[in-house]
Amino acid sequence: MKSVPPDPIELPLDGTLDLHTFQPREAAAVVIDYLAACREQCVYNIRIIHGKGIGNLRRTVEATLNRLGCVDSWQPAGHDAGHWGATLVRLKPLKEPSGHE
């Protein structure tokens, strides 16, 4: 019997990505796709919620952010934004097309 891939999940591009609804093995791909979609919509400040746990998901998120050229900076969230259970990301803006200054 042929397996059917699950329907894609549409996430609001409001700058908050909660990874609790995804399988840990999907985390890196979800982060990459979400950040790309946010950047296209000029959403440059992102909060990724990964939870505290034992830190595996946080480390996956951090490793993913470290290898993405579109990431300007990232840091653990402050106490008001989830602290160790979330990561704040600043994306580099998309460049304007040539001829627009």
Under 8 Å between Cβ of 34 and 11: yes
CA terminus-to-terminus distance, the chain = 56
Is 37 within a domain? yes
Average pLDDT over residues 2-14: 64
Mean pLDDT computed over every residue of the chain = 86
Is 53 within a domain? yes
* Total tally of structural domains belonging to the chain: 1
pLDDT at 62: 96
Write the CATH number for 38: 3.30.1370.110
Q: How confident is the model at residue 13 (pLDDT cuts 50, 70, 90)?
A: confident
* Residue 34, domain extent: 16-91
DSSP 11: -
pLDDT at 73: 97
